Chains A and B, each alone.
Chain A
Amino acid sequence: MHHANHFYGHAHVLAGYCGLDPEHPPRIDGYVQHGWNVVDGLGAGTPYVSGRPIFVWSEQTRRRAWSMGRRYATVIGAPWLYLLATRPAERGVPRAGTIWYPFHGWEGQHVAGDHQRLIDEILETEDGPVTFCLYWHEFNNNRIRRRYERAGRVVCHGYRGLRWLDTDTRFLHNQLAELRAHRRVASNRLSSAVLYGAAVGCEPAVYGDPMHLDGEVRLTAERIRRQWPELHGRHPDPADATASALSELGADDLASPAELRAVLGWAAA
């Protein structure tokens, strides 16, 4: 339905879980939530067509969507968890260090000193090697990438795609391999990546300057800190944090391959 269904190869992961060709996922007659959010599961600016289902990650998101007038939300859980179901962890693979997902508005909103302060705080907090994971457009920006390269290893999971084009369908696979190689996952804002890391055994943490964008409503960020304190801090309790992360990803609501096919409109595919 909407091209966001192909972001990060979500449709491809779901097709693989359903036993269909992961390279050519059938059309999904609705909107798959493509990232963790504190609204109705749709990305900002998604042109929602009323009556089409929104496939959200958790029951909490569904309730929120309903309260916002979205009556067609169905909980399926995060595609990330379906990927995990098809790619069980190998035993005895060593984990080391922290993978850090910096959130920032680079395009002129902040002076460089803010970023250096964040990097300093990260290196002060983390006791092992730090891998910085940048968003694709930051990774392609030499100035930004070099700043982080001075502090540690820098990776990018891939390009999420736009209008069904250039989607890196291995995005989540790359992310899974990186997360499974690290002991901790952290960011300065609670985000999908932190939840994903917690779901695969990383100790999650959210700390550091949240780097608010100019004009951004701070109420949302403050609300997130109030609602999920168990995921915030330099060393939150890993058990509580992981339980909370799994709940946000909808771990209890995952459908069987057959049910997911029926729900996504792939029963005849």
Chain B
Amino acid sequence: MNYQLIGGEMADFTDREPVGGELAAYLIGLLRPLGGRILLAGPHAPALIGALTGFAEVTCLVRSQPDAAALADCGATVLCGSLAKLTGAERYDAVVALDGVERLCSVEGPQYDWAESVRALHRVLRPGGALLLAVENELGVHRLVDRATVTFAHTTDAWRPEGEFGAKPGSPARLEARLAAEGLTVGWLGAAWPLPAAPTFAATPAALRDGPSGALSAAAAASVAAAFAGTPVLSDPRRLTAAAIRAGVGAEFAPGWLALAFRGTELGVLVPPVLSGGGPAADLPAGRVLEELLIGACLRHDLPAIRRLLAGWVASEPTAGFDNVLVDGDTYTVLDPARATGEPGGVLRRFAHTLLAGGYAQPWPAAADVPSLTTILLAAAGLAGTVPDADDAPPAPHSLREHEEQVRRLEEQLADAAARVAYVETELIYRDAELRRARLQIDAFAGKVGYRITKLGARAARRAVRAVRRTSPLFKD
């Protein structure tokens, strides 16, 4: 057995979805100057452990015995048990808890709250050492759009499903204050998207406040788009993310926060203000996201602005999706060239779908389906060509709000169709009468047999009526 059982271990239990990803690996890599002894507390993806064992003496703490067994050959010392059993005998240069502190205590023994967990981790840090900690935001975008809630408690690890009723800090400012109250100095704190278990974009509150909000919101929204593609949600998390960042409350509504705090006052490591993927973000251009500008112009029915934006896009970046282009005056900049491999018709078709699925007001409300609206958008953009078939771009999140709008729209279209059929039938009756009159006139002038027969028939009918009137007692004067 290549792991130590320290007490409180769970024999037939495993933690799902440990935290991982390039951004987490990059942050852990930054701890190198602090020294060689590192504790990884809680479930972390094997790749993160592998990245550390190259330069450090790593200790892993997990509560699940099967998880501990799986880590046995990864080159680290593995402790299996509850956080409460961790003695202060060992001191580490850094403690990494990028999975948060919720999965450190097992079912056995005391159930530490957030502050008690942080205190326990603090105890095993050497003076000057660093705690790299993740905190999930119960008011994060991922929670706000979730069709379920953690308090539903369906999973085996949810024996205390506190959710927003727990004692975690609820904002970046409070997180910093709580860590300070524990004697830790925060060296860096970043809001992270799109999910706590797999952050791919992070930025400090200062960068979010003072930086280019267009590029920042686009990058965060892009990470959310990738994570939520095709996922059932309450409302579109991409819009919520971008709107929060633009409104200056991006950090408050981020799915989680990552903090690097030091025991003592000395800051041993510097972290860049904006991280994207596996490292610092490249310089972010100024400007607003083209898609947001276009949706805004559609909502205002601002046709000149729509045509100007489309023309600018056609002239500079027609292969990039509207969510991947920043517009600053007359300058159009692609955010992620790797994603700019589309075809203009396909981009317009996707935008038509976005407008219709999102129920956005737009200047051509009678174009109620994607091909019709795409035809108009192609023409408004000055592009020739036919509407392409749907491409294999990642699907948008499946939002309940948009489903409601689709149902409403279909009901409206059905009622409109019924009204139209009624109108057309009335018009048909009118036209039929016109046609009958015209035919009679033609027959009359042509002297046709049919007309004569009709005339004879009418005469015979009149005679019959007169005969009946004469003989019937009903018509007596």
Which positions in A face B, CB cutoff 8 Å?
29-30, 47, 49-53, 59, 62, 71-75, 252-253, 255-256, 258-259, 261-263, 267
Q: Which residues of A contact B365 (CB under 8 A)?
A: 53, 71-74
Q: Which residues of B contact A253 (CB under 8 A)?
A: 303-304
Q: How far is the CA of A52 from the CA of B412 in the complex (A)?
A: 12
Q: How far is the CA of A73 from the CA of B420 in the complex (A)?
A: 17
Asked whether A49 and B364 contact (CB < 8 A) given A59-B301, A253-B304, A259-B379, the answer is no
Asked whether A261 and B366 contact (CB < 8 A) given A47-B423, A49-B419, A51-B416, the answer is no
Q: How far is the CB of B419 from chain A (nearest CB, A)?
A: 5
Closest 6 CB pairs of A and B: A51-B416, A53-B366, A259-B379, A262-B379, A258-B379, A262-B376
Residue interface bits B340-369, CB-to-A below 8 A is 1, else 0: 000000000000000000000001111000
**Is there an interface contact between A50 and B379, defined as CB atoms closer than 8 Å?**
no
Question: Which chain B residues numbered 283 to 312 have a C-beta less than 8 Å away from chain A?
Answer: 301-304
**Is there an interface contact between A72 and B366, defined as CB atoms closer than 8 Å?**
yes
Q: Which residues of B contact A72 (CB under 8 A)?
A: 365-366
Cross-chain contact of B363 among A29, A30, A75 (Cβ < 8 A): A75
Question: Which chain B residues numbered 176 to 233 have a C-beta less than 8 Å away from chain A?
Answer: none
Please tell me if B380 contacts chain A, counting CB pairs below 8 Å.
yes
Q: Which residues of B contact A49 (CB under 8 A)?
A: 416, 419-420, 423
Please tell me if B454 contacts chain A, counting CB pairs below 8 Å.
no
Question: Which chain B residues numbered 401 to 456 have a C-beta less than 8 Å away from chain A?
Answer: 412-413, 415-417, 419-420, 423
**Is there an interface contact between B419 and A263, defined as CB atoms closer than 8 Å?**
no
Please tell me if B375 contacts chain A, counting CB pairs below 8 Å.
yes
**Is there an interface contact between B301 and A51, defined as CB atoms closer than 8 Å?**
no
Q: Which residues of A contact B364 (CB under 8 A)?
A: 53, 74, 263
Please tell me if B382 contacts chain A, counting CB pairs below 8 Å.
yes
Which of B303, B364, B378 has the most chain A CB atoms closer than 10 A to its own CB? Answer: B303
**Is there an interface contact between B376 and A263, defined as CB atoms closer than 8 Å?**
yes
Cross-chain contact of B366 among A51, A62, A256, A259 (Cβ < 8 A): A51
**Chain A residue at minimum C-beta to C-beta distance from B366:** A53
Q: How many interface residues does B have (CB within 8 Å)?
A: 23
Q: How far is the CB of A215 from chain B (nearest CB, A)?
A: 29
Query: Can you list 20 A-B contacts with CB-CB less than 8 angstroms, sorted by A residue number?
Result: A29-B366, A47-B423, A49-B416, A50-B415, A50-B416, A50-B419, A51-B366, A51-B417, A52-B366, A52-B420, A59-B303, A74-B365, A75-B301, A75-B363, A255-B303, A255-B379, A256-B380, A258-B382, A259-B380, A262-B375
Interface SS majority for chain B: helix
Q: How far is the CB of B368 from chain A (nearest CB, A)?
A: 8
Asked whether A51 and B304 contact (CB < 8 A) given A258-B382, A263-B364, the answer is no
**Chain B residue at minimum C-beta to C-beta distance from A51:** B416
Q: How far is the CB of A267 from chain B (nearest CB, A)?
A: 5
**Is there an interface contact between A75 and B303, defined as CB atoms closer than 8 Å?**
yes
**Contacts A49-B420, A253-B303 supplied; 17 other A-B pairs, CB < 8 Å:** A47-B423, A51-B420, A52-B366, A52-B416, A53-B364, A71-B365, A72-B365, A72-B366, A74-B364, A75-B303, A75-B363, A258-B379, A259-B380, A262-B375, A262-B380, A263-B364, A263-B376
Q: Which residues of A contact B415 (CB under 8 A)?
A: 50-51
Q: How far is the CA of A19 from the CA of B53 in the complex (A)?
A: 72
Q: Which residues of A contact B302 (CB under 8 A)?
A: 59
Q: How far is the CA of A30 from the CA of B364 in the complex (A)?
A: 12
Q: How far is the CA of A80 from the CA of B416 in the complex (A)?
A: 30
Q: Which residues of B contact A73 (CB under 8 A)?
A: 365
